[in-house]
Amino acid sequence: MLNWRISIGKQHMPEFPQIPMDGNRCERTMKLLFLKITLSLNLGTVSSSTGCSDSQYFEELYNYYTTEKAWHLCDPDAEKVFKTLRNAGVKLAVVSNFDTRLRPVLRALNCDYWFDVVAVSAEVEAEKPNPTIFIKACELLGVKPEDAVHVGDDRRNDLWGARDAGCDAWLWGSDVHSFKEVAQRIGVRV
């Protein structure tokens, strides 16, 4: 069970219930969580200033984050690097605490084909830093955790979680700063 709570503006925020990572209810649960956070953060100001109801605003906001307009690739060399890695036989996965909207987002960004596996916490029923999500990604890739390296931007969720699963792990922005650097560190020349 996960206990979801936002600490910003605690006095105005409701306590969020314990939400089980249940595969049958996962999409509905993630949408409910997104709604609760959205409504709690805007505290009605969006509704009063725009004239739209909270449910309309929520649906638009929720759907907006499935489009390429809401996202960008953080590294201009990403496509070149990922194609080079795949051509070199490196198996690639996305391991994410996002919900099932991640697949449409990757398609919208035209980068879904860069990866062999997409392990989403909403589908795997385990969330980073739980080692289960990393182990599941390795199983889907057909690699042993000790032969995998995870690159992420969160020390606790990415580094500690991956290492607890037996993977090596590098922190984006500290250990590595570009996908090209990741490729070089694993011995692939781009």
| Same-domain pairing of 85 and 24 | no
Q: Which one has a higher pLDDT value, 9 or 151?
A: 151
HEC readout, 128-172: CCCHHHHHHHHHHHCCCHHHCEEEECCHHHHHHHHHHCCCEEEEE
Is 60 exceeded by the pLDDT of residue 30?
A: no
* Cβ atoms 183, 81 nearer than 8 A: yes
* Domain shared by 26 and 102, yes or no: no
Token pair in block for residue 148: 């995998």
| Least confidently predicted of 33-37, 143-147, 175-179 | 33-37
Residue 92, in any domain of the structure? yes
Tell me if 71 is assigned to some domain: no
Q: Is residue 73 part of a domain?
A: no
What is the count of structural domains for the chain?
2
- How many CA atoms lie less than 13 Å away from 173 in the CB half-sphere? 7
Letter string b/e over residues 33-48, b meaning 16 or more CB atoms within 10 A of that residue's CB: bbbbbebeebeeebbe
pLDDT in tens, 131-143: 999 999 999 999 9
The domain of 170 spans: 78-185
Query: What token pair was written down for 190?
Result: 């781009």
Cβ atoms of 119 and 93 within 8 Å: the answer is: yes
Residue 72 in domain: no
Same structural domain for residues 93 and 42? no
Above 80 in pLDDT, residue 36? no
Q: Residue 167, SS3? A: coil
Degrees, nearest 5: CA angle 79-126-66: 45
Is residue 51 within 8 A of residue 150, CB to CB? The reply is no
In a domain, 12, yes or no: yes
Residue 121, domain member (yes or no): yes
CATH of the domain at 113: 3.40.50.1000
Say if residue 136 is in the same domain as residue 59. no
**Do 98 and 125 belong to one domain?**
yes
pTM above 0.75, yes or no: no
pLDDT band at 48 (very low <50, low <70, confident <90, very high): low
Residue 17 sits in the same domain as residue 42: yes
41 pLDDT more than 60:
no
Task: Please choose, from the candidates 162, 163, 181, the residue with its C-alpha nearest in 3D space to the C-alpha of residue 172.
Answer: 181
Give the Cα separation of 116 and 122 in Å (integer). 18
